[in-house]
Structure 1
Amino acid sequence: MSVPPVPPPPTGAAPVRTSTGVFVCLEGGDGGGKSTQSALLVERLRSEGYEAVPTFEPGDTAVGRELRRIVLDPATGDLAARTEALLYAADKAEHVERVVLPALGRGAVVVTDRYVDSTLAYQGAGRVLGGALAGLEQVARWATRGLRPHLTVVLDVPPAAGLGRLEGRDRIEAESAEFHERARQAFLALAAQDPAHYLVVDARGTREEIAATVWARVAPLLAQAARAARTVGEGA
Structure 2
Amino acid sequence: MNKGIFITFEGPDGSGKTTVSTGVYKKLQANGIDAIYTREPGGIEIAEEIRKIILDPKNTAMDAKTEALLYAASRRQHLVEKVKPALDAGKVVICDRFVDSSLAYQGCGRHLGIDAVWAINNFAIEGFMPTKTIYLDLSAEEGLKRIENREFKDRLDQETIQFHLDVQAGYKEIVERFKERMVIVDASLSVEQVIENATKKVLEIIHDQG
TM-score for the superposition, normalised by structure 1: 0.82
2:15 matches 1:32: yes
| AA of the residue aligned to 1:205 | L
Offset at residue 223 of structure 1 (A): 4.1
Count of residues in correspondence between the two structures: 206
Checking the alignment, whether the CA contact within 8 Å between 1:27 and 1:114 is kept in structure 2 is yes
Greater displacement, 97-106 / 158-167:
158-167
Counterpart-to-counterpart distance in 1, 2:52 and 2:89: 31
Q: Deviations over 1:198-233 (max 9, x none)?
A: 1222211012221232223222332477x6xxxxxx
Alignment correspondent of 2:75: 92
What is the percentage of aligned positions where both structures have the same residue?
35
Q: From 49, 53, 68, give the equivalent of 2:32.
A: 49
Partner-residue secondary structure (3-state), 2:174: helix
Query: Structure 2, unaligned stretches of length 5 or more?
Result: none
2: CA distance, partners of 1:203 / 1:217 = 14
1:44 maps to a residue whose letter is K
Once the two structures are superposed, what CA deviation does each residue of 1:13-65 show, in whole Å capped at 9, x if it has no partner? xxxxxx71111111111111111111111111111111111100112111112
Map of 1:156 onto structure 2: 137
Question: Which shows bigger deviation, 203-212 or 105-114?
Answer: 203-212
Give runs of aligned pairs for residues 163-202 of structure 1, distance below 5 A.
163-166=144-147, 167=150, 168-202=152-186
Asked if the contact 1:21/1:224 (under 8 Å) is kept, the reply is no
CA distance in 1, matches of 2:180, 2:196: 18
Contact 2:57 2:154 in 1 (8 A): yes
Please tell me whether the aligned partners of residues 22 and 224 of structure 1 are also in contact (alpha carbons under 8 angstroms): no
CA root-mean-square deviation = 1.7
C-alpha contact (below 8 Å) 2:107/2:116 kept by paired residues: no
After superposition, the Cα gap between the structure-2 partners of 1:20 and 1:61, relative to the gap in structure 1 and judged at 3 Å, is: same
Answer whether contact 2:107 2:115 (CA < 8 A) is retained.
Answer: no
Q: What SS does structure 1 have at the residue aligned with 2:146?
A: coil
Q: Which has the larger radius of gyration?
A: 1
Instruction: Give the gaps of 5 or more residues in structure 1.
Output: 1-18, 228-236
Write the distance in 2 (CA, Å) between the matches of 1:177 and 1:46: 37
User: In structure 1, how many angstroms separate the alpha carbons of the residues matched to 2:157 and 2:85?
Assistant: 31
Return the match for 2:206 from 222, 233, 236: 222
In 2, the alpha carbon distance for the partners of 1:124 and 1:220 equals 31
2-structure distance, mates of 1:59, 1:216: 27
The residue type paired with residue 127 of structure 1 is R
CA distance in 1, matches of 2:59, 2:48: 15
Alpha-carbon distance in 1 for matches of 2:69, 2:121: 8
Counterpart in the other structure of 1:146: 127
Corresponding residue for residue 109 of structure 1: 92
Instruction: Determine the C-alpha separation between the residues in 2 that align with 1:173 and 1:185.
Output: 17
**Residue in 1 that maps onto 2:64:** 81
CA distance in 1, matches of 2:202, 2:78: 22
Once the two structures are TM-superposed, the CA of residue 72 in structure 1 deviates from its matched residue by 0.3
